[in-house]
């Protein structure tokens, strides 16, 4: 099971779009999934835990993941 934590250091709650990339042993990206962890809700100031389960289908070639913030919005 996968989980991650976003730390919102902004002065206000915000929505964050993330890119989850699955990487093989050679560093090649084999799958990508863009998503908003809190959907259309703002993430409060401080820590916000969320699940990565079901975002990318199982592939035995996957050896690691990269999680990168893509954009910020306020709802």
Mean pLDDT of 2-6: 92
pLDDT (tens digit per residue) in 44-60:
999 999 999 999 999 99
The answer to whether residues 59 and 30 touch, using CB atoms and an 8 Å cutoff, is yes
d(Cα 19, Cα 24) in Å, to the nearest integer? 16
Joined tokens for residue 28: 């090649």
Mean pLDDT of 16-33: 98
Query: Rounded to a whole number, what is the distance in angstroms from the first to the last CA of the chain?
Result: 29
- Sequence-distant (6+) residues with CB within 8 A of 14 are 8, 42, 43, 72, 73, 74
| Geometric angle at alpha carbon 7, from 41 and 23, rounded to 5° | 95
Would you say residue 1 has pLDDT above 80?
Answer: no
């Amino acid at each position: 099971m996968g989980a991650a934590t976003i730390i919102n250091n902004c002065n206000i709650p915000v929505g964050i779009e993330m890119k989850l990339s699955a990487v093989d042993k050679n560093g090649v990206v084999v799958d990508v999934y863009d998503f908003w962890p809190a959907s259309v809700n703002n993430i409060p100031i401080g820590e916000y835990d969320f699940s990565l389960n079901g975002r990318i289908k199982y592939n035995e070639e996957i050896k690691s993941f990269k999680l990168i913030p893509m954009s910020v919005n306020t709802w």
